[in-house]
Structure 1
Amino acid sequence: MSLQRRALFRAGAGLAAGAAILQRPALAAAPFQNAVPAAWYRFRFGEYEATIVSDGRLPLGKPEPAFPASPPDEIVGLLRANFLPPDAATLEQNALVLNTGRQLILFDTGMGDSMGADSKMFGPTTGRLMGNLRAAGIQPEQIDLVVLSHAHSDHCWALVDAAGNRNFPNAQVAVSEADLKYWTDDANKRGPAFMTTFIDGAKKNLSAYRDRMIMVRDKAEVAPGIVALATPGHTVGHHCYAITSAGQTMVYTGDLAHHHILLLQRPMWEFSFDTDPKLSAQSRSRMLDQLATDKFAVLSYHFPWPGLGHVVKAGEGYGWIPEPMDLTGTG
């Protein structure tokens, strides 16, 4: 048999085998994996070890009610221009655990389950911080200090469990005196419908730690290397925190800006959950300008997971540049 005939024979056999394969039905033998994986991300920051732990996604639904003074067409246009759904705004919840070598410090606690059905006011995807902490190898009793940016439900309602027991039995709690007074005062149960629930939840969670509280003050250290920065408006005592180690600075911004597009590109827009929307916009604009000028790393509680990146000036507003995630374990 000639070489040419052998080649033709082999080619024909291959085509016949291929046809047989094509005739067999494709079988999706692997079932869908519907379980949500544990969400945590660890990296080195200066001499510290930082772990971002998710409390789960917080869906706002249609964005227009959350930005009541903003033009609806402009909201939709900004979202579409950034490949985001125009009819469903979703926020992340990125809590930070900082291991300084001396202390284990948690920044904000997520929603938790302390308020029963009210703990699911934003849907079933919140309240996952405790499980994700443990998945990251961190036990609640190891936390030395819980630092609160403010006393809203998605930031302090996991201080205690449904029975009112401390979730962090060995921790102190740092919060501004202004927020402590405001969110535990029944006289403030007025205005938006959520105020009563927010105050009841803050009272239950904060009161369990009244004998071990640290009062946060503007430009003062909360712990070595961690300085509070007053940014009032979202709440009366909202604070960001500048974390410095080995010449590096990262700012944990809490709820300075909830949305990485709408409130960065339009920093003077008002947000429906702000106690003082105009003051909040002023604080946001001032701090964003500082972050962009100083080029500090930023960890935002509500920005896309894991919330780590930089703020840059962009036109009349700002842009968000996410930090690439190091998944090699060498960061």
Structure 2
Amino acid sequence: MIQLRRRVLLGTAAAALAAPALVTATARAAAPMRNELPPAWHRFKVGSYELTVISDGSLPLGKPEPAFPASPPEEIRNLLTSNFLDPASATLEQNVLVLNTGRQLILFDTGMGESMGAASKMFGPTTGRLLANMKAAGIDPAQIDMVILTHAHCDHCWALVDANGNRNFPNAQVALSETDLRFWTDDANKKGPDFMVPFIDGAKKNLSAYRDRMVMVQDGKEVTPGVTAYATPGHTLGHMVYFISDGNNTVVNTGDLAHHQILLLKKPLWEFSFDTDPKLSAQSRLKMLTRLATDKHPVLSYHFPWPGLGHVGKAGEGFDWYPAPVNVTNL
């Protein structure tokens, strides 16, 4: 009897060991690779306001040294590697913001778009996804009441129109500083770096389509109820950041105040190659980052890692970036 039981137990154990092999044999078909990206949007609240961050896609800079020409290359590499980032390739995000105040639907910046054909892909094929991601987020471009621009660079205003020059936001006003409007639509400024020619041609094409519906933004003044502009000149001479407030609740849309969450926060006085006035830009950056660290307002940064939400804290001669947790139940 004992031997019989032993044989039964051994047989049961052998069957259990064999079972995984049978399962493995039926699961050998390779799953296809899925290379497409999912729609990228993130929704959150500021007081009673509803805000949606929408991705226009990543913007690869390539080797970081040319973007920071006055900075020691070894220090650039050390900062990146010590933060587990690739020292040979810097990538920025494009975090576009849509604000629903309950009275207005406001878009801040537009991403790269496709209005300038091949020039729209000067940073590669990963940009220009705003309109598709807006649709995925349930936002109709025709519902946008106002497009507020932090500045008139390609990755912020080139999706105002499509390749044929038709308005992508047919019912919207466009708000920006008069300084940027004048500078980036003036052919006399087509000098200096090679990118100045397409940047000005692109701004002219996109802004001229809204010439009868422009709103000039002024430093320290409300653009529209709940949105106040503050001048941070240097990246462009008319660059603005926007404080979005409902009651005691505020989030600050900083645009291109700082392009990189490590390099330009740890070293706020470093110069960036796409700045119109690099030294002025550095001073504006230091001043506003100091204010943000003091006030402790949440921040949306256009080029920081998706979705660009977090806080700035003082850290020695520079600042640290504290990304906000993303609650996936909001998606």
TM-score band, normalised by the shorter chain? over 0.9
**Partner in structure 2 of residue 43 of structure 1:** 44
How far apart in 2 are the matches of 1:36 and 1:174?
A: 31
Distance of 1:28 and 1:11 partners within structure 2:
28
Aligned-partner Cα distance in 2 for 1:113–1:5: 74
1:17 to 1:53, Cα distance in 2 relative to 1, 3 A? closer
SS in 2 for 1:29: coil
**Deviation string, structure 1 residues 45-74 (Cα, Å, up to 9, x no partner):** 210010001100000000000000000001
Q: Compute the displacement of 1:4 (Å).
A: 5.2
Q: Deviations over 1:99-139 (max 9, x none)?
A: 00000000000001111110001000001101111111111
1:166 aligns with 2:159: no
- Provide the C-alpha distance between the structure 2 equivalents of 1:7 and 1:141, rounded to a whole number of angstroms: 72
Query: 1:68-103: per-residue Cα shift (whole Å, max 9, x none)?
Result: 000000101111011111100000000000000000
1:144 aligns with 2:139: no
Displacement after TM superposition at 1:316 (Å): 1.3
Give CA-to-partner distance per residue, 1:228-250, whole Å, 9 cap, x none.
01000000000000001131110
- Give the letter aligned to residue 223 of structure 2: V
- Map of 2:58 onto structure 1: 57
Question: In the superposition, relative to structure 1, how do residues 16 and 71 fare at CA in structure 2: closer, same or farther (>3 Å)?
Answer: same
Moved over 3 A (4+): 1-9, 16-22
> Structure 1: which 5+ runs fail to align?
none
The answer to whether the aligner puts 1:297 opposite 2:312 as a matched pair is no
Matches within 5 A, 1:206-245: 206-245=207-246
Counterpart AA for 2:307: P
Per the alignment, residue 8 of structure 1 pairs with 10
Instruction: Look up the match of 1:91.
Output: 92
**Aligned-residue identity in percent:** 70
Q: 2-side partners of 1:288 and 1:18: how far apart?
A: 58
Aligned to 1:127: 128
Is 1:255 matched up with 2:251? no
Secondary structure of the 1:119 match is helix
Q: Secondary structure at the match of 2:135?
A: helix
- The secondary structure found in structure 1 opposite 2:329 is coil
Q: Tell me the residue number matched to 2:177.
A: 176
What is the aligned partner in structure 1 of residue 202 from structure 2? 201
Equivalent AA in structure 2 for residue 33 of structure 1: R
Alignment partner of 1:305: what SS?
coil
CA distance in 2, matches of 1:16, 1:208: 71
Asked whether the 8 Å contact 2:42–2:330 carries over to 1, the reply is no
Contact 2:268 2:282 in 1 (8 A): yes
Is 1:272 aligned to residue 259 of structure 2? Answer: no
CA apart distance, 1:28? 4.3
TM-score, structure 1 as length reference = 0.96
Instruction: Write the letter of the residue equivalent to 2:205.
Output: K
- Aligned alpha-carbon RMSD (Å): 1.4
User: Quick one: distance in 1 between partners of 2:237 and 2:187?
Assistant: 16
- The aligned length equals 329
Q: For structure 2, which runs of at least 5 residues remain unmatched after alignment?
A: none
Q: Secondary structure at the match of 2:169?
A: coil
TM-score (norm 2): 0.96
3-state DSSP of counterpart to 2:219: coil
Task: Write the distance in 1 (CA, Å) between the matches of 2:235 and 2:6.
Answer: 80
The amino acid across from 1:276 in the alignment is D
